[in-house]
Amino acid sequence: MSENIDVELEQEIATFYQSLGINQGPGDIQYRLMLKVLEKNDPGITEFADIREYTDQFADRGSIGSKMKTVFQLEGLVKKVKRGGYVITDKGLMAASFLKNTTVFYKKTKKMGEIIERMP
Amino acid sequence: MMATELLLNITICFAITISSFAFSWVLARSEPEHNGKSKPALWALVIFWALVGLTYLPTTIRMIAAYMHNYELDLVMYNLASVPFAFISVPLVYFIIYIIVGDKKISTYVSLIFTIFGAAYLALLYSSGVNSTITEWASLFSINSDIAINIYLMGLFIVPTAMILGLLLIILLQRVPKRLRYRTTLPLVAISFVFDFMLTDMITNVDVMQVSARLFVLIGTVQAFLAYFPPLTLQEKLGIREYQYDLYMEDGETGSKHQIGDDTDV
């Protein structure tokens, strides 16, 4: 599964969810990109370098590692397999599937909003 | 002796003419209130209502001519009214395609196809010739060809109606505020009302049917007007009143001025 990650779109979606009051999970650009990369690399190992490729413009050094530990690892979305290397779990895949749904919802809402906007 | 029924027909046609022209004018005047994205759709709507008026203006004269037994004028006016009628689906198709797709180019191309179809209808109509019948209710014209032209005309009208219904369904399936739902669905219902009863008016060969179709066109025009400019009582009844909230309004409970509704100390 090697679909490309559209960083700009993810940023747009994260901003949209933040505007709904959802600052974590779907509304967090780092969370979105990390989960996307983990899903993309499934069943292989994801290293920090893979994630940083996308998150460098949004994250300070260290924040990705901290998020990986406090959110992903603690909640059981990933399994640490080596130093700096993680594999997505079944629960993580479920979260990734939910993330996809948030993208679909965003696109649908945006499309509808535009239709209403064009209505005189 | 010509009956008063025909006078009723004249009155209805005249009312449609006046109200659709007025509506078109008011819509055009409201242009500054619309944003850049909705302006193309607004102008399509203005043209649509103007075409409705342009169809019924010669029709009014035609009915008066029929009342006064002036058959030549009746025929001339029938031919004249057929022109705006043939192209009425053009702005409508532009309107719907633009709202759904949002691309001016695509909408222009699709409406261009309908322009060609409309022109083909006119060519067919003028080459076939018509037969007139005047009853106490109406003056009816039937086209001297088989029913092919009527079927063709239905195609010209049914496709845009299907588009309207599709758009209506898209909007109804969404969760949108009631006021917005009223503002978006009622004009669409009104347009399809007017549009389809105009078709009925044109192809029917039953006189009473013609008058009732025109009555429904009139109702549709009024409905469209109410959709855009609902009177306050209607707004309150339907629960779609728009409340104005002043950001710097004195808040009764806190007694102080707040920016952006700061209710933290309520």
A117 and B35 in contact by Cβ < 8 A? yes
What local confidence, expressed as pLDDT, does residue A98 receive?
93
Where exactly are the structural domains of chain B?
Answer: 4-229, 235-266
Q: Using one digit for the tens of pLDDT, what is the confidence trace for B114-169?
A: 999 889 888 888 888 777 787 878 888 877 776 667 777 777 888 888 989 988 88
Q: Is A49 touching B (CB cutoff 8 A)? A: no
Answer CATH for B4-229 from 1.20.1070.10, 1.10.10.10, 3.30.70.260, 3.20.20.110: 1.20.1070.10
A120 in contact with B at a CB cutoff of 8 Å?
Answer: yes
Give the closest residue to A24 by CA, choosing from A60, A80, A75: A75
Q: Is residue A98 part of a domain?
A: yes
| Residues of A with Cβ-Cβ distance to B174 under 8 angstroms | 112
Domain with A86, as residue range(s), is 7-111
Q: Mark yes or no for CB contact B45/A120 under 8 Å.
A: yes
- Can you tell me the ipTM of this complex? 0.71
Of residues B108, B110, B48, B131, the one with CA closest to residue B84: B48
Question: Could you report the per-residue pLDDT of B229-248, keeping only the tens digit for each?
Answer: 888 887 777 777 766 665 56
Chain A residue numbers with beta carbons less than 8 Å from the beta carbon of B45 are 120
- A41, A98 contact by CB (below 8 A): no
pLDDT digits (tens, 9 = 90+) for A49-90: 888 888 877 777 778 888 888 888 888 888 888 888 888 888
CA dihedral (A30, A33, A36, A42) in degrees, to 10, reads: -80
Which residues of chain A make contact with B183, given a CB cutoff of 8 A?
A: 119
DSSP states of A26-85 as a string? GG-HHHHHHHHHHHHHTTS-EEHHHHHHHHTTT--TTHHHHHIIIIIITTTSEEEEETTE
Separation between Cα atoms, residue B242 and residue B172, nearest integer Å: 20
Number of domains in chain A: 1
- In angstroms, how far is CA B66 from the centroid of its own chain? 26
CATH number at A18 reads: 1.10.10.10
Q: Is residue A60 part of a domain?
A: yes
pLDDT in tens, B45-82: 999 999 999 999 999 999 999 888 888 888 899 999 99
Q: Is A117 contained in some domain?
A: no
Q: Which residue has the higher pLDDT, B254 or B5?
A: B5
Q: Identify the residue with better confidence: B247 or B102.
A: B102
